[in-house]
Structure 1
Amino acid sequence: MEDFNSWKDLLNPEFYIKLGGFWLILFIIFAETGLFVGFFLPGDSLLFVSGIYAVDIIRETFGSTGSELLDTTILASSVSLAAIIGNEIGYYFGVKTGPTLYKRQDTMLFKKKYLYQAHDFFEKHGALAVIMARFLPVVRTFTPIVAGIVKMDKKEFLRDNIIGAILWSFLLIFAGHYLDKLFIQHFGIDLKKKLELIIIVIVLVTTLPVIFKFLFGKKNDFSKYENHDSE
Structure 2
Amino acid sequence: METSNTIVTNIFKPFQHHINAEQDLREEIRNIMKDIEKPLREIITQLQVIHHKENCEQIGVACQKSRELFEEVRNGFDRLDKIIPEGQYYRYNDHWRYPTQRLCFLAALIVYLEKGFLIEKDTAAQIIGMDGKEHLHLDLEDYLMGLLNLATELSRFAVNSVTYGNYNRPLEISKFVAELNAGFRLLNLKNDSLRKRFDALKYDVKKIEEVVYDLSIRGLLPGGDQASTEPTSDTQDS
Give the TM-score normalised by the residue count of structure 1: 0.30
Between 1 and 2, higher relative CO (CA 8 Å, sep ≥ 6) is seen in 1
Report the structure, 1 or 2, having the larger helix content: 1
Give the TM-score normalised by the residue count of structure 2: 0.30
Larger radius of gyration: 2
